[in-house]
C-alpha cells in the first residue's frame, strides 16, 4: 500500500472490535490514524494500539470525516444507520454484521475464495457469518475439485460468538457449579456450563434458525453456486473461543481421499491436521487465536454418493470476523 490510511472501527470495545485492533497491529496494516467509535457509555475509555492508548469516541453520523476504511462490528441496526454516512463521507465500509450480506449490490467476501468480488463494491463490503466462513475455508477447495451439491453439517460454536457477556456467563457458571452455588442465566435461555444448546439465533417457521440458514444462503453467494444446499444444526457449546463444524458433503464428481488431502493441503489459510492414529485432528483449544483454520477427520462418507466427511475448526473472532475484515481492507 502506498500511503497510511485513516481507519475507523465501529464497535471498538466489543469482542470483535478488540480483535480488529490487534489484527491491524499484528499484520502491520498501514494505519496513519485510528479512530475508535462506540456508544456514549464507552467514552472516556481507551484501547491500546502500537504502544499508545487510543481514546474511544462516541459514534455519530459525522464521525467519518477523512476516514478511508471503516470496519463495522456493532450489530446490524448500527450498520444500517451509520454505514451509509461513512460511505457518503468517502470511506469504504467492511461490515461484520448481517445487515448487508444478502444485498445483491454488496459483495460478500472471503478473500481466499472470491476476492475479485470486491471490485463490484459501491462502498460497502460484507463480512460473512463466522460459521459459514470457517466451513467454506475447507469446503470451497473441495468444491473446486469435485463440485459440491449439498452438505449436512452440525456446528459446535463457542460462547465468544455471542459476545463478551457470554464469555463471562460461562466463566461464572463454571465457578458456580464447581462451588456448589446456584447458577444464574442472563445471556442464554439455559445453563451453558457443562451443557450444549441446539439453539443459535432465532427460530424460523421452518424449524431451522437464522444461523443455520446462513450456511446455505451465504454459501451460495460466496461460492457463486446458486444451487448449493445445506442442512445445518447449530449448537452452542461450553468452549470459550473457536468454532468447530462436522460436515458431510456430497459432490457431483467421484471423490478420493488422496485427492481430497492433496487439495486441502494446498488451500490458503487452511492447515490439514489429519492423523487419527496419533490423535491428531483439529481442536478448538489449539486453533484459538490462530489465523489459519484446520481441517481433519477426512473419510469417505458411507451414506452419500461421492461423499466426504470432515471436521473443520477455526477462530471465529479471527477468520470468522476480525481477520477476514482486515484481509478485505488489505485487498481494498
157 is in an annotated binding site: yes
173 is in an annotated binding site: no
147 is in an annotated binding site: no
290 is in an annotated binding site: no
Closest CA to 322 of 63, 7, 43: 7
101 is in an annotated binding site: yes
41 is in an annotated binding site: yes
The question of whether 199 is a catalytic residue gets the answer no
List phi, psi (to 5°) of 254. Answer: -60, 140
The question of whether 224 is a catalytic residue gets the answer no
203 φ/ψ sector (left φ>0, alpha ψ -120 to 50, else beta):
beta
265 is in an annotated binding site: no
63 is in an annotated binding site: no
Q: Which of 6, 143, 234, 243 is catalytic?
A: 243
Closest CA to 140 of 223, 254, 221: 223
163 is in an annotated binding site: no
Q: Which of 6, 130, 143, 234 is catalytic?
A: 130
132 is in an annotated binding site: no
122 is in an annotated binding site: no
14 is in an annotated binding site: yes
Residues flagged as binding site for substrate: 157, 236
Residues flagged as binding site: 13-16, 41-42, 101, 157, 160-161, 236, 316
Residues flagged as binding site for phosphate: 101
Catalytic residue numbers? 130, 243
Residues flagged as binding site for NADP(+): 13-16, 41-42, 160-161, 316
Amino acid at each position: 500500500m502506498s500511503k497510511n490510511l485513516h481507519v475507523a472501527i465501529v464497535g471498538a470495545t466489543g469482542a470483535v472490535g478488540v480483535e480488529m485492533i490487534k489484527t491491524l497491529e499484528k499484520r502491520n496494516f498501514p494505519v496513519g490514524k485510528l479512530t475508535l467509535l462506540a456508544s456514549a457509555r464507552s467514552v472516556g475509555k481507551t484501547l491500546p494500539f502500537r504502544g499508545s492508548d487510543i481514546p474511544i469516541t462516541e459514534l455519530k453520523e459525522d464521525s467519518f470525516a477523512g476516514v478511508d476504511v471503516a470496519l463495522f462490528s456493532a450489530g446490524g441496526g448500527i450498520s444500517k444507520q451509520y454505514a451509509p454516512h461513512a460511505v457518503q463521507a468517502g470511506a469504504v465500509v467492511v461490515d461484520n454484521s448481517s445487515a448487508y450480506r444478502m444485498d445483491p449490490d454488496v459483495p460478500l467476501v472471503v478473500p481466499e475464495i472470491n476476492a475479485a468480488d470486491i471490485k463490484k463494491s459501491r462502498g460497502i463490503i460484507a463480512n460473512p457469518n463466522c460459521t459459514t466462513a470457517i466451513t467454506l475455508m475447507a469446503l470451497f477447495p473441495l468444491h473446486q475439485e469435485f463440485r459440491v451439491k449439498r452438505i449436512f453439517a452440525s456446528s459446535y460454536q463457542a460462547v465468544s460468538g455471542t459476545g463478551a457477556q457470554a464469555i463471562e456467563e460461562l466463566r461464572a457458571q463454571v465457578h458456580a457449579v464447581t462451588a456448589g452455588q446456584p447458577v444464574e442465566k442472563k445471556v442464554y435461555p439455559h445453563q451453558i456450563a457443562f451443557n450444549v444448546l441446539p439453539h443459535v439465533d432465532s427460530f424460523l417457521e421452518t424449524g431451522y434458525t437464522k444461523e443455520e440458514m446462513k450456511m446455505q444462503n451465504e454459501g451460495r453467494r460466496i461460492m457463486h453456486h446458486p444451487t448449493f444446499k445445506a442442512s445445518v444444526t447449530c449448537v452452542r457449546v461450553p468452549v470459550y473461543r473457536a468454532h468447530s463444524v462436522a460436515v458431510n458433503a456430497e459432490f457431483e464428481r467421484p471423490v478420493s481421499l488422496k485427492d481430497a488431502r492433496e487439495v486441502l493441503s494446498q488451500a490458503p489459510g487452511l492447515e490439514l491436521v489429519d492423523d487419527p492414529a496419533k490423535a491428531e485432528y483439529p481442536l478448538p483449544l489449539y486453533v484459538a487465536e490462530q489465523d489459519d483454520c484446520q481441517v481433519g477427520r477426512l473419510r469417505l462418507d458411507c451414506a452419500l454418493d461421492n461423499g466426504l466427511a470432515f471436521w473443520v475448526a477455526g477462530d471465529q473472532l479471527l477468520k470468522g470476523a476480525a481477520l477476514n475484515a482486515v484481509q478485505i481492507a488489505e485487498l481494498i
